[in-house]
Structure 1
Amino acid sequence: MGLFTKRYHPPGTTPGTLTAVTRTSEQRPLRISLLDYDEDRITELPDASLADCISHTSDSKASWIHVQGTPEPELLHALGEAFGLHGLALEDVLNSGQRPKAEVYDGQFFVIMGRPVWRDGELSMEQVSLFLLERLVISFHQGEGDPFEPIRRRLRGASNGGFNQRTADYLYYALIDVVIDEGFPLLEILGERIEDLEDELLENPGQGTLNDIHRLKRELLLLRRMLWPHREVLNVLLREEDRLIQPGIKLYLRDCYDHTIHIMELLEAYRDMAASMLDVYLSSVSNRLNENMRILTVIATTFMPLTFIAGLYGMNFDRASPWNMPELGWRYGYPAVVTVMVVVMIGMVGYFRRKDWL
């Protein structure tokens, strides 16, 4: 699937319809984990079944169901029936590649976020979908690896900063914060690439440099397209007055919003630098062409009088007339002409140096 495309249902399909997508190489093995916690305990099922999730009931502070991999329509339909998940939201989960957004449904929040990933020298975006319900968070991620393992480690740790005393809205914030903060190390990688390209531009720019600059600009454009809407997502969560998100949690969401501002400022600065590098490359190529043309012009200009002298004495006139090149019969005629040519060449080179043309 391309960087700027996503899978849609055929025209005329009823909104909220869960239709199986065509199998591609992007399909990931499915794994479901279930986690419960409160002040005194944490219960974790790393390989839970769909039945475990549907039958799960708990009076804990929060429960968390995470679906890792590509979900089937049947699984999404069962989860939707069990927890009252909105059909439009489930359709967006199934059809990955959505633009980041936040939706407020009756008794639930639904958020789609773009997770930037740098893998094998390539930038890609993975969709993360998050539901917040009463004391329950459901997350979906179809990419490689589990992006939320740091949250699990915090919960398992003996000193987790009171995480296990928090309600589900704090867990919801923590998952959002993990996705947003993954933009910083990726921007650091892009910043190092920009520095390398700047050095290459100054030393020896070539066609490969131009290709790298265009590739960098496309990657920055993709990042902007997927990370810019994160601000809108957080604005929706901050503005919405709902008991699912307590007032105290909005302080943490505002911190996330500050992170998105910082990321976008860095991203815009990098885009400006990439645009200026293209101008520098074109200017460098033009200057190098001008330098080559200057050297060739100096060489051609230096040999013009020498060519004239050689052409003049190459004319085969009869020396019977005193006006027909009498010096051709001189004993030292040839050395004299060569000496004149050397003197003329040295004089022109000296003149060019005084003019700073060499």
Structure 2
Amino acid sequence: MANYTKRVKYKKHKRHINVGARPGSIIIPDDALPPQITIFSFNQDDLQTSKGKDMKTITQQIAKCTDHTHWIKINGLGDAQLIEDIGIFLGINQLVLEDVVNTHQRPKFDEYDGYVFGTSRIIYFNSENELVNCQFSGIVKDNIIISFEESHRDYFEVVTTRLKAGKGTIRTGGPGYIFYALTDTILDNYFVLLSQLGDMIDQTEDKLYQSPDKTIMFDAQQLKRTLITIRRACWPERDKINDMIRSESPEITKDIKLFLRDAYDHCIQAMDMVESYKEVTSSIIDLYLSMVSNRMNEIMKVLTIISVIFIPLTFIAGIYGMNFSRQDDHGHVIKDNMPELYVQHGYVYALIGMFLIGLFQLFIFWKKGWFNKL
């Protein structure tokens, strides 16, 4: 196991604020990626896939596969015209389209006349060890589900693999089931991320016990910040799934709600893990500060013992360093003035006395057990 924790960097994600803009305005961020469209048209016996970059790809595929369920997967939100065309084609409210391109939404589920809309947060570490926090949006209407993702990363590869295999409910559950499957995949990847964070917390804790230094506090704080990011995604995700379970929309059937209850349990488990890890990281920081404080107390104790030993020695040296003469200029003895100044071998006696005083103090400290705790 490595003896250090990798630095967690946060991928820059600027928020575009357009003060006073008309509600429903579709404003594409400057760093938005060009869209890549993949369409999966499927039923129990057939799966057809097509790819493209414009609205024509969507309309042709839907016209060709009239008895299929369609999953329109869009990676990249860099084309405002495409978003508007999809809204016109499916009759989607402009406010929904605005939420799709405004990629700082908290997880939510909204019902509209004839369709439902939901968002989630996709959180993962990229290849450069940056924490990426991007948005997933989904619209379910009739036999169509459209999913929007900010990046070109194939985050839902496991779902497409299941779709190609054609086993289970994936092809027969309808677009609402696909929406559940995508939501459940996001939750499952939270556990993958939390497992990575758990390993990083263990590394930081091991380092605390083996070779503590100030980087431990910085590492623990970064881990805590990452956990807060996940917590901000998990808490509203729980409310979103709960709203889906309580929904009366025909797109969310009774069978889908049964699966959603399982996803709700997963969300609660992820929240519990986040809270537990947050407590551990806080404990690591507190323990490190306590260790620093205890170490400082030990150092102060050593210095105090040294000072206590030298205080009486300094007192003696100070007394005999005052140089008050024993006799005056006429040879007369001055009463009460330094009688030891003319004692033979007085210097040696003074040193021996000071040495014995020091040894006596060391013996007393040893008997009290002070040296055993250093």
Question: Structure 1 length normalisation: TM-score?
Answer: 0.89
Q: Which residue of 1 aligns with 2:18?
A: 9
Aligned length: 353
Are the structure 2 counterparts of residues 206 and 241 from structure 1 closer, same or farther at C-alpha, using a change threshold of 3 Å?
same
Q: Is the partner of 2:105 in helix, strand or coil?
A: coil
1:227-261 deviations in Å (ceiling 9; x for gaps): 21001111111111222222111111111111100
Residues 61 and 165 of structure 1 are in contact (CA less than 8 Å); yes or no, is this contact kept in structure 2? no
Residues 35 and 53 of structure 2 are in contact (CA less than 8 Å); yes or no, is this contact kept in structure 1? no
Q: 2:357 aligns with which of 339, 344, 351?
A: 344
Q: Which residue of 1 aligns with 2:292?
A: 285
Q: Which residue of 2 aligns with 1:134?
A: 142
Q: Does 1:312 align with 2:316?
A: no
* Whole-angstrom CA distance in 2 between matches of 1:4 and 1:352: 61
Structure 1 unmatched ranges of 5 or more: none
Report the Cα offset of residue 273 of structure 1.
2.5
* Higher alpha-carbon deviation: 176-185 or 187-196: 187-196
* Whole-angstrom CA distance in 2 between matches of 1:32 and 1:239: 32
* Whole-angstrom CA distance in 2 between matches of 1:161 and 1:332: 104
Aligned-partner residue type, residue 122 of structure 1: E
Residues 7 and 96 of structure 1 are in contact (CA less than 8 Å); yes or no, is this contact kept in structure 2? no
Q: Which residue of 2 aligns with 1:354?
A: 367
Q: Which residue of 1 aligns with 2:230?
A: 223
Structure 2 unmatched ranges of 5 or more: 1-9, 328-332
Q: Is the partner of 1:146 in helix, strand or coil?
A: coil
1:72-125 deviations in Å (ceiling 9; x for gaps): 211100011112222111101111111111111111111110111123333231
* Whole-angstrom CA distance in 1 between matches of 2:167 and 2:33: 31
Q: Which residue of 1 aligns with 2:110?
A: 103
Q: 2:97 aligns with which of 90, 96, 111?
A: 90
1:136-156 deviations in Å (ceiling 9; x for gaps): 110000035121111112222
* Whole-angstrom CA distance in 2 between matches of 1:230 and 1:14: 28
Question: Structure 2 length normalisation: TM-score?
Answer: 0.86
Q: Which residue of 2 aligns with 1:34?
A: 39
Residues 11 and 130 of structure 2 are in contact (CA less than 8 Å); yes or no, is this contact kept in structure 1? no
Q: Is the partner of 2:171 in helix, strand or coil?
A: helix
* Whole-angstrom CA distance in 2 between matches of 1:67 and 1:101: 19
CA RMSD of aligned residues (A): 2.5
Q: Which residue of 2 aligns with 1:51?
A: 56
Q: Is the partner of 1:154 in helix, strand or coil?
A: helix
* Whole-angstrom CA distance in 1 between matches of 2:169 and 2:235: 31
1:149-206 deviations in Å (ceiling 9; x for gaps): 111122223x633533432222121111111111101112222232333334445544
Q: Does 1:180 align with 2:180?
A: no
Report the Cα offset of residue 131 of structure 1.
0.9
* Higher alpha-carbon deviation: 201-210 or 257-266: 201-210
* Whole-angstrom CA distance in 2 between matches of 1:279 and 1:118: 27
Percent of aligned pairs with the same amino acid: 34
Aligned-partner residue type, residue 24 of structure 2: G
* Whole-angstrom CA distance in 2 between matches of 1:7 and 1:230: 23
* Whole-angstrom CA distance in 1 between matches of 2:181 and 2:11: 30
Residues 61 and 135 of structure 1 are in contact (CA less than 8 Å); yes or no, is this contact kept in structure 2? yes
